Amino acid sequence: MTSSRLVLTLAIVLAVTAPPQAPADVQTPDALGANFDAKAIGKGTPADFDFLIGTWTFRFQQRGEGGAFRPSQPGEWSTRKAHDGAVVEDLWRLGGSTNPTITYRVFNQAKQIWELQGTHPRTGGWDAGIAWSRADERYLVQHFNDGKLLVRIKYYEITANGFRWRADGSGDEGKTWTPDIWKMEAARKSQ
């Protein structure tokens, strides 16, 4: 057997017998989390979430009970404008979930902020929040699980074809925060 055939044969054997690779971690530029003052509400514009319109694939990662990150999971996020463009409506589905998160975002012209409500159709309940922008970043503050979890979310590195997203969590109404309880990176699938 020639050395090139041996190398090829070994490569095939290793590829077939190698254990599956763990999903890659979602990378962040630092360990600071979303790291903004959730009480210092800024101003938004009606176009703040136009970048989100379309369909995205993403990798999502969350912290486990001990603080270590669980393996990343794939998902799909579809967003559209509804009601003559007055509502940004999205469907966020993690992996093969049959209970997606649906979010409705409406721009409040008088307050210059986005008001939003998220829900899970099969379990019910509403997760209220607000959002605004600063330069090329978006900020969102939302209560989850009947108000037991306050989350501050930052969208950053927003381009036409991708963005990153990270969320800090607080169980004491924002007195203390755990950075990066959730993190995500998204790539555009279609517009």
pLDDT at 99: 85
Average pLDDT in the 70-94 region? 95
30-48: burial string, b at 16+ Cβ within 10 Å, e else: eeebbebebeeebebeeeb
pLDDT at 17: 42
Predicted confidence band of residue 27 (pLDDT cuts 50, 70, 90): confident
Question: Is it true that domain 37-190 has CATH number 3.20.20.210?
Answer: no
pLDDT at 3: 42
